[in-house]
């Protein structure tokens, strides 16, 4: 197993190497008083760090100061604010599903890393969908109909997301509820769709088993390894308003069915800047395995002008909490640990969840593509939550474009 202290030390090292400035300098940068600066700290907007010689003296994160300056700037320029909102910018809609703040990820107010210790994906689904005491997975409509063997044979060679998109329309269970607005009527249908995505991801018939056990049985892994799958599914269940969740919400705002919303999410997930990033990480690990030296791999990639995929997440300057909650529990892998060390020492960057998923896939010797399968299955839970929440709003998402083309002649 990976040493937990070793990973935590990496996170602490990254925090210490961040640039920090004094209170006077921070206040001057923002054009505010020290009292206002302290208020920002209390609200979690600015991270602080003690100094070695005097723990009472605090320093203030330059990264957070710059982020606040940017927010204040765009606040005075509404057109720029609107444009930047689509690029890791200001919030564009309200949601009570997932919160990302101060390096933590929480589902409905519950820390995702803590949930990953014991919860199943079904537990998280009930939480995100706000099912209360009702268990939609126990409903008769939560069992998808079986696919014809010929259909499974036809879709076997398709890429994972396309296979899911092909098979999902054949899930007839609960189709009469597809257009209902009452979430209670949609929960069993949603459960069937989640099970359907899991089955389609591995090209087999759906099951009523807990999803991590269903996958573990299909992949032939033991109970200990099944628990790692469970942990990964919980950690990847949702991630606020990312590209796929936004696509789902746009489609949901039109009144489309849950199946159509999932189709949009799967399309977005397939891209190399989203779930498809796992394929790029696989290539990185292939190269590491072939060369056998992490420093050489990183140096040669940088010399060629190639990127090192899936290190550093804009929302988590001090490390992706999903990777931190998964990587330390995987079987030991010296070459992987060397890569993490080299990336930290040379670039000050920690791995994202994509690295953790691929590391899990390789540690358990799952079929290639299983990292994306885990991503798709887990994230279906969040997509459904976003679709249900957006449908209740009953407003069409219709942003405007700022035209920059030629004038009318």
pLDDT score at 68: 86
Q: Which of 59, 84, 109 is the last residue of a domain?
A: 84
Domain count, the chain: 2
pLDDT score at 56: 65
Q: Do 35 and 171 belong together in one domain?
A: no
Q: Which parts of the chain sit beneath pLDDT 50? A: 1-4, 6, 9, 11-17, 173-174
* DSSP code per residue over 320-382: -HHHHHHGGGSPP-HHHHHHHHHHHHHH---B-HHHHHHHHHHHTTPPTTHHHHHHHHHHHHH
Q: Do 274 and 338 belong together in one domain?
A: yes
Q: Do 147 and 240 belong together in one domain?
A: yes
pLDDT score at 82: 56
Query: Beta strand 104-107 with 48-50: parallel, antiparallel or unpaired?
Result: unpaired
pLDDT score at 235: 99
Domain contains 329: yes
Domain contains 141: yes
Domain contains 405: no
pLDDT score at 288: 96
Q: Do 115 and 42 belong together in one domain?
A: no
pLDDT score at 15: 43
pLDDT score at 176: 57
pLDDT score at 4: 46
Q: Do 270 and 393 belong together in one domain?
A: yes
CATH number for position 50: 1.10.1660.10
Q: Residue 303 corresponds to which tokens in the numbers above?
A: 């010399």
Q: Do 156 and 31 belong together in one domain?
A: no
Domain ranges, residue 51: 18-84
Half-sphere exposure at residue 395, Cβ-oriented, CA atoms within 13 angstroms: 6
Q: Do 77 and 105 belong together in one domain?
A: no
Domain contains 58: yes
pLDDT score at 313: 93
pLDDT score at 8: 53
With H, G, I as helix, E, B as strand and everything else as coil, classify residue 59.
Answer: strand
Domain contains 9: no
Q: How far apart are the first and last CA of the chain?
A: 68
Q: Do 80 and 139 belong together in one domain?
A: no
> Rounded to whole angstroms, how far apart are CA atoms 75 and 344?
34
pLDDT score at 346: 87
pLDDT score at 70: 78
Domain contains 409: no
Q: Do 227 and 285 belong together in one domain?
A: yes
Of the candidates 253, 215, 249, 242, the one whose C-alpha atom is nearest the C-alpha of residue 231 is 215
Work out the widest C-alpha separation in the chain, in whole angstroms. 72
Q: Do 148 and 23 belong together in one domain?
A: no
Q: Which of 84, 107, 129 is the last residue of a domain?
A: 84
* Cβ 2 vs Cβ 327: under 8 Å: yes
Q: Do 71 and 141 belong together in one domain?
A: no
pLDDT score at 16: 40
Q: Residue 77 corresponds to which tokens in the numbers above?
A: 């320029």
pLDDT score at 13: 42
Q: Which residues contact 148 (CB under 8 A, 6 or more apart)?
A: 170
Angle ∠(124,126,127) on CA atoms, nearest 5: 60
Q: Do 105 and 77 belong together in one domain?
A: no
CATH number for position 205: 1.10.580.10
pLDDT score at 87: 60
Q: Which of 34, 63, 84 is the last residue of a domain?
A: 84
């Amino acid at each position: 197993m990976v040493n937990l202290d070793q990973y935590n030390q990496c996170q602490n090292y990254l925090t210490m190497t961040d640039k920090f400035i004094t209170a006077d300098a921070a206040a001057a940068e923002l054009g505010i008083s020290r009292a206002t600066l302290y208020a920002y700290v209390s609200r979690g907007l600015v991270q602080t760090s003690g100094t070695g010689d005097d723990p009472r003296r605090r320093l203030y994160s330059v990264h957070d100061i710059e982020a606040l300056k940017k927010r204040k700037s765009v606040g005075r320029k509404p057109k720029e604010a609107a444009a930047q909102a689509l690029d890791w910018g200001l919030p564009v809609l309200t949601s009570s599903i997932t919160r990302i703040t101060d390096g933590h990820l929480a589902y409905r107010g519950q820390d995702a890393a803590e949930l990953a210790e014991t919860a199943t994906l079904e537990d998280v689904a009930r939480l995100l969908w706000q099912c209360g005491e009702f268990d939609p997975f126990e409903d008769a409509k939560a069992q998808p109909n079986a696919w014809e063997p010929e259909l499974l044979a036809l879709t076997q060679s398709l890429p994972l997301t396309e296979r899911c998109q092909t098979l999902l329309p054949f899930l007839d269970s609960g189709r009469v509820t597809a257009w209902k607005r009452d979430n209670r009527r949609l929960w069993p249908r949603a459960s069937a769709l989640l099970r359907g995505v899991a089955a389609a991801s591995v090209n087999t018939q759906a099951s009523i088993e807990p999803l991590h056990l269903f996958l573990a049985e299909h992949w032939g892994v033991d109970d200990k390894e099944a628990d790692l799958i469970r942990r990964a599914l919980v950690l990847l269940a949702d991630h606020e308003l990312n590209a796929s969740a936004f696509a789902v919400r746009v489609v949901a705002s039109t009144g489309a069915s849950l199946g159509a919303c999932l189709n949009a999410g799967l399309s977005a997930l397939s891209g190399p800047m989203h779930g498809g990033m796992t394929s790029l990480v696989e290539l990185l690990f292939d190269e590491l395995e072939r060369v056998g030296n992490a420093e050489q791999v990183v140096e040669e990639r940088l010399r060629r002008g190639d990127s090192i995929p899936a290190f550093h997440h804009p929302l988590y300057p001090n490390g992706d909490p999903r990777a931190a909650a998964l990587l330390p529990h995987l079987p030991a892998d010296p070459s992987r640990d060397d890569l993490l060390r080299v990336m930290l020492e040379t670039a000050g960057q920690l791995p994202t969840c994509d690295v953790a998923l691929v590391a899990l896939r390789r540690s358990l010797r799952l079929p290639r593509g299983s990292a994306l399968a885990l991503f798709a299955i887990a994230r279906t839970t969040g997509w459904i939550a976003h679709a249900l929440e957006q449908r209740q709003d009953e407003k069409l998402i219709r942003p405007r474009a700022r035209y920059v083309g030629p004038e009318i002649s």
